Amino acid sequence: MKAIIKKLLAHYWLVYPVLILKMFIYYWQTKRLDMLSIYDVPLLSLLFLFCVFEVFSFKESKPRRYGFYVVYTLITLIMLADAAYSSYFGKYISVNQLYQVTSLGQIAGDGNVIGASVSPGCLLTLIDYPFVLYWYCLRNKGKKGMLDELAKHWPAKLSFKSLWKEKKFTASFIKSVFHIIIYIVTICAWYYYGLNPQNLRSVQQVNHIEFFTYHTNDVVVNVVGKLKRSSVDEKAIQKKMKAIVPKSSGTAYKGVAKGKNLILIQTESFNNFVVGATYNGQEITPNLNKLLKNDTIYFNHFYSTTGVGNTADAEFSALNGLYPNDIRECYRMYVDNTYNGLPWMFRENGYSALAFHGYVKTFWNRSEAYKNQGFQHYYSEEELKKTQISGFGITDKEMFRQAVDILKTKKQPFFSFMITLTNHIPYELDQSLASLKLKSSDEGSTFGNYLQTVRYTDEAFGKLIEYLKENDMYDNTVIAIYGDHQGMNKETPSVRWKMTDFLGKEYDYDEMLNVPFIIHVPGLNESKVVDTVGGEVDIMPTIANLMDLDTKQPYVFGHDLLNADEGFIAQISYVGEGSFITSDDNMLFTIGKDGTVESGRLISLLDGSRKNLNKKLCQKYSDRAQSLIDTCKEVLDNNLIANYITH
C-alpha cells in the first residue's frame, strides 16, 4: 500500500482532481452547491485555480516558487474565511470585515463562541493544502520556460512541413499556444466578471456565488469605489423617500406616555418564538407572559433589521430610525455623523439620556459612537461593579439592579437605554443561576443552553420591575423591550433540526428573524397585539408617537407601527439585500444567493409554508427594499442629517 501511495504521489497531475475536490468542498461549505451549473460557477473557479498553478510553474525560480506559496496560501485562507463566515451568516466574507477585527476579536476571545457559531466542517477547505504545495514543487522542479523549450527544439529551417517532422518542437509550440490562450481567456474572464465594466445583472448574478470574481469585485467596489464620492441631490433623495418609506396616518396612542420615564431594553439574541412558549411543562418566559396581559402593546410580526454590525446595528437602527448596511458596522463607519435619534429627542424635551451595558465600553466602538448618538453618560463594565459575572460580563439581573440604583439618583424624567448580555452566544450560564429543567437530551446542547439563558434574562425582567417598584419609579416608567437578532441560527444544521422538532414545523427565516417588541405603559388600561409587520427601524417613530416627541429632520426610514398604513421592511443580514417582509399577504421574501428574484423564496408569515413566487410583484418589492437600503446609505454617506440639526 505504501508503495502504491508513493507511486501515486509522484504524479503531479494529481493536483488537478485535488483542485476540483477543493472547489467542491468550498461550495459545499458555503452552501452554494445547489445553485452550481456548468454555465455559472465551476468552470470559472477551476479555470482561475488551474491558471494560478500553471502560471507559477512557467519556469523554475525562487521568486516564482515563493510567489506561489504566498498566493495559494492567501487563496486557501480566504476560502476558509468564506466557509466559516457562511456557516453563520450564509454569505461570503467581504473586505469590509477587516474593519471589524477589533470587535470580532473581543467576541472570539472566548473560544466557545467560535465553536457555537462556526461549523467545524469549514476546516475541510484546508485538506488539499500540503498536497498541492508538494505537487507544485514536483511540477516546478527543473522546469524551463516555454520559450526556452521552443528555442531548444527550434528547427534549423522552419516551414509548415517541418512542424510534422519536428515532433518535440511541435509539441512545445502547441503547448505554448494552448497556455497563452488559457491565460488570455482567464484574464478576460477576470476583467469581465470581476470588474463588470457594463454593470450587467447577469454578471452580478455570477459574482454572488463565484469565488475569484466575487472577491475581485468586492475589493474594487469597497476599496477603490470608496475613494470616489459624487455630489448628492437632497431634493431627489427626499422625493424618493416619500415614494418608498412606509407611511403612517392617524393619531392613535399619541402622547399616552408623555412625560413618563422610558427604559428601552435591547435584549441580546432574543427570538420571538420563546414568548408564550412552554418547554418540558415549563413556561420559558413567565415574566414577559405576565407583562403582556396588562398595560402592554405587543408587536408579534416584528423583525430584526441588522447589518453586518449585528447587535450594534440593531441599536443604531432602533435609536435613529435608519437602516444599517452590508458594508461595515455603522458605529464605526458613521461615528462622526450628526444624528437626531431618541437620545437627542428626549434631551430636547428636558430628559436625561443614559446608556447601560455590562461589557467593556470599547465593544462595537460604543464609547465613541454614543457621543454623537446623544447619550450624556455611558455606564459600562468599567464603571459598574462586577458583583456577578456570567459569560462576557455582568449578569442582566445585576446590570438592572445597578442601573436602577443610578437612575434613582438622577433628575427625572429620564431616557435609559439598556443592553442585556447574559443571553449571548455560546449561552453559558453558571449552574447556580439556571432554573429551567432541561431534558437529558438537551443538556449541554446549543438549544438547551439557549433556553436556559433566555429563562434567566426573563427572570431579570421580573427583577427590573421589582427594583422599579421598590424605588417608587414603576408607575411613571415606560418599559420597551425588543430583541436585537436571532439566537437560534438556521444556518447551523443541528440547531435547525432541533428547532424544527420544537416548533413542529420547518425552522426558517420567518421564525429566525422574528424578534419581540413589547411596550409596557403602566396605566394604559388595555393590552393590545399589533399584527403589522415592522422592524427595529420603526422603533424610534413608534416611541416618538407614544411619548409625543417631534422629529425635526426628514431622514427617518421607519414609521409609527401604531398608525401604520402598511407594514414593510427591507432585510439585509442573513438573507441578503433585496429581501423584504411585508404585511401584504403576510409574506417574507429572501433573495436568491445569486442575487436574483427568480431564485428567491417566498415564505408565509402565518404558517411558514412556501408560497408561489409572483416574480413581477416580488421584483417590485425587492427593488423597493434595495432602494431603502441604498437611499439610507446615501443619507449617511453624505451626513445629510447635519443640514437640519444643530445640537
Cα angle 213-217-221, degrees, rounded to a multiple of 5: 175
Query: Does the active-site annotation cover 492?
Result: no
Contact 154, 173 (CB under 8 A): no
Output the CA–CA distances (angstroms, integers) from residue 519 to 253, 291, 417, in the order listed. Answer: 12, 9, 14
Q: How far apart are CA 142 and CA 260, in angstroms?
A: 82
Q: How far apart are CA 18 and CA 20, in angstroms?
A: 5
Output the CA–CA distances (angstroms, integers) from residue 274 to 282, 304, 441, 447, 484, in the order listed. Answer: 11, 15, 19, 12, 14
Print the SS3 string covering 471-501.
CCCHHHEEEEEEECCCCCCCCCHHHHHHHHH
Q: How far apart are CA 341 and CA 553, in angstroms?
A: 10
Q: How far apart are CA 137 and CA 57, in angstroms?
A: 9
Output the CA–CA distances (angstroms, integers) from residue 411 to 26, 41, 347, 585, in the order listed. Answer: 57, 62, 12, 47
Print the SS3 string covering 210-278.
CHHHHHHHHHHHHHHHHHCCCCCCHHHHHHHHHHHCCCECCCCCCCCCCCCEEEEEEECCCCHHHCCCE
Output the CA–CA distances (angstroms, integers) from residue 525 to 260, 476, 539, in the order listed. Answer: 16, 14, 22
Residue 113, all three cell numbers: 463562541
Q: Which of 76, 125, 311, 542 is catalytic?
A: 311
Q: At what angle do helices 615-637 and 234-244 cross, to 10 degrees?
A: 140
With CA atoms as reference, report the closest residue to 451 among 284, 281, 267, 277: 284
Residue 204, all three cell numbers: 452580478
DSSP assigned state of 194? I
Q: How far apart are CA 258 and CA 351, in angstroms?
A: 12
For residue 194, the tally of other CB atoms under 10 A from its CB is 22
Task: Count Cβ atoms within 10 A of the Cβ of residue 475 and give its class: 0-12 exposed, 13-18 middle, 19 or more buried.
Answer: exposed
Residue 532, all three cell numbers: 403589522
Task: Count Cβ atoms within 10 A of the Cβ of residue 332 and give its class: 0-12 exposed, 13-18 middle, 19 or more buried.
Answer: middle
Give the residue numbers annotated as catalytic, written as ranges. Answer: 311
